[in-house]
Amino acid sequence: MSSPKILLLDIGNTRIKWGVLFKGEIVETGAVTISEAKSSGFSSLIRSIPKDINKALASNVSSIKISTRLSAAIGASFGCDIEFVNRGLSSYGITTEYSEPRQLGIDRRIAMIGARAEFNGEIAIIDAGTAVTIDFVNKKGVHIGGQILPGLHLMLKELDDSTRNISTSGITEDILQREIDLWAKDTTSAVISGAYNALCGAIIRSVSDLRKMGFKPKVILTGGDARFLMNFLDKSYLYRPNLVLNGLASIAIGGD
């Protein structure tokens, strides 16, 4: 019997990222925005995925409505149901000190599984998406806690919504990728510099605090906005754009 091709789906607040797991490796990846997927009846997503899928495994932090509609689209197109992961961490050598473990987001749990599969030591995971999460797992596999703060685009939107003379509607991804001076000379650059400084300051302080306590974590950045932040952070930080997909792959392989 040939090896199955497993569709992996990371359903976030802004985007749906997908990957195809084949013979233990993620061989293809892609992404669409949630708004694009919904407006096309998920056809934009379905068209981008290879047709010979046998199974589907997903992480979802979006709405139940998205899960229902996406399940129907995947079932009609590929003839398989989506298994939505909602498991704890203990099966993968990780425990958490969260007082209410069920409140720990499924995407954060799966990102830890993906990071732990690659690195056995101390890990700090920064997921820069709609929100930015910072989590630390020690070398014994204990998640000692984390932080959640507004992401880059939430910061920009809040300034746009809450101030009279600051507009961020014209800030495109091309602008976000430009080199920005800390001490900006125009309002748009000042807004971007301030947002980067706030996010990077939180990350740098968190990693510095861990190091003061004697830890030496591998620092891993993931999420849609991580590529912007990498330009302002320590070059030793590692970039893993598909960390949740990697965690889903580990779960799929462990379940085979």
Tell me the pairing of strands 25-33 and 15-22.
antiparallel
Residue identified by tokens 């929100």 is 131
| Helix (H) or strand (E) segment spanning residue 113 | helix 106-118
CA–CA dist 178, 196 (Å, integer): 12
Residue identified by tokens 């047709």 is 51
Contacts 24+ apart (CB under 8 A), 220-224: 220/115, 220/119, 220/123, 220/124, 220/125, 220/126, 221/126, 221/128, 222/111, 222/125, 222/126, 222/127, 222/128, 223/126, 223/127, 223/128, 223/129, 223/132, 223/151, 224/12, 224/14, 224/15, 224/128, 224/129
| Residue in 10, 81, 107, 127 annotated catalytic | 107
Is 209 part of the annotated catalytic residue set?
no
Nearest to 49 by CA among 72, 75, 31: 31
Enzyme catalytic residues: 107
